[in-house]
């Protein structure tokens, strides 16, 4: 029962992690769709409205997956590790951040592109997002692991 509760709390934190980028991306796409709709570009407006839905669903799904993976990692970790905040936070940060970094590299290198094909601002924003998710997971690792792991 304890492991199931940890995974459930991880999924809840993951939903919170995914809700912010999903909401921001969805709203930005809908605002852009409205601008193109008022300009008479109906095809572009439809594409942006579809992108808004994809941004919301994708962001929430990715957040839930990251949160659940963090919960599973903390549920499988030894209790000694969970009793100390630094190793617990490092485990949560690595569990949340490394898959996002790998996914980012895979998505950016598709269709014959390399990471050098993108401007530095793309890498700065991408790194900031990955770091933010990892830091939030590390900060919430005590909450995910449960009150008995708090120090």
Average pLDDT over residues 81-93: 93
Sequence-distant (6+) residues with CB within 8 A of 113 are none
pTM: 0.81
Helices (H), the chain: 2-38, 42-76, 79-82, 85-108, 120-139, 141-145
Is the model's pLDDT at 150 over the cut of 60?
A: no
Confirm if 70 and 13 have CB atoms less than 8 A apart.
Answer: yes
Is the model's pLDDT at 112 over the cut of 80?
A: yes
pLDDT digits (tens, 9 = 90+) for 35-47: 999 988 999 999 9
* Tokens (6 digits) for 9: 């709390």
Is the model's pLDDT at 94 over the cut of 60?
A: yes
Structural domain total, the chain: 1
Is the model's pLDDT at 147 over the cut of 70?
A: no
Residue range of the domain that includes 39? 2-149
pLDDT digits (tens, 9 = 90+) for 14-33: 998 889 888 888 899 899 99
The distance from CA 23 to its chain's CA centroid, rounded to whole angstroms, is 12
């Amino acid at each position: 029962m304890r492991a199931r509760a940890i995974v459930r709390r991880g999924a809840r934190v993951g939903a919170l992690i995914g809700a912010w980028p999903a909401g921001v991306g969805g709203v930005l796409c809908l605002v852009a769709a409205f601008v193109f709709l008022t300009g008479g570009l109906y095809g572009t407006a439809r594409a942006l409205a579809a992108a808004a839905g994809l941004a919301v669903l994708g962001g929430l799904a990715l957040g839930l997956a990251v949160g659940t993976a963090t919960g599973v990692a903390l549920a499988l970790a030894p209790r000694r590790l969970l009793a100390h905040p630094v190793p617990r936070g490092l485990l949560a940060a690595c569990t949340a951040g490394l898959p996002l970094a790998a996914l980012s590299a895979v998505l950016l290198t598709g269709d014959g592109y390399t990471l050098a094909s993108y401007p530095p601002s793309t890498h700065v924003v991408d790194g900031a997002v990955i770091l933010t998710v990892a830091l939030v997971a590390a900060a919430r690792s005590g909450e995910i692991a449960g009150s008995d792991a708090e120090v």
